[in-house]
Amino acid sequence: MDINGRTTEILKIFTKLKELNLGITEFDEFRAFRTICNEFIRNGNKVKGEIPVPGTKRIICYHFNNRVDCFLKYDPMV
């Protein structure tokens, strides 16, 4: 996937997160996720992980390689 493809896929994620209106965009953990996304766009290196967002009961799960996969997992303990 080239840089334009990576950019398009990442923008889809941020658009969807904004549409969900969960208010997580103001959390430091979301800023960390944005940094990970920007690095993936720039260098295309594969990356996978989970970022718990305390107080929201959500975990940002992501797997970026030849495909860009991301979802919010519900966890009542977060």
Largest CA distance in the chain: 38
Q: How many residues does the chain have?
A: 78
Q: Are 28 and 53 in contact (CB under 8 A)?
A: no
Other beta carbons less than 10 A from residue 25's beta carbon = 14
What pLDDT is stored for residue 44 in this prediction?
95
Our measurement of the distance from residue 75's CA atom to the centroid of its chain's CA atoms, rounded to an integer in Å, reads: 17
The residues of the chain scoring below 50 in pLDDT are: none
Q: CA-CA distance, 11 to 15, in Å (whole number)?
A: 6
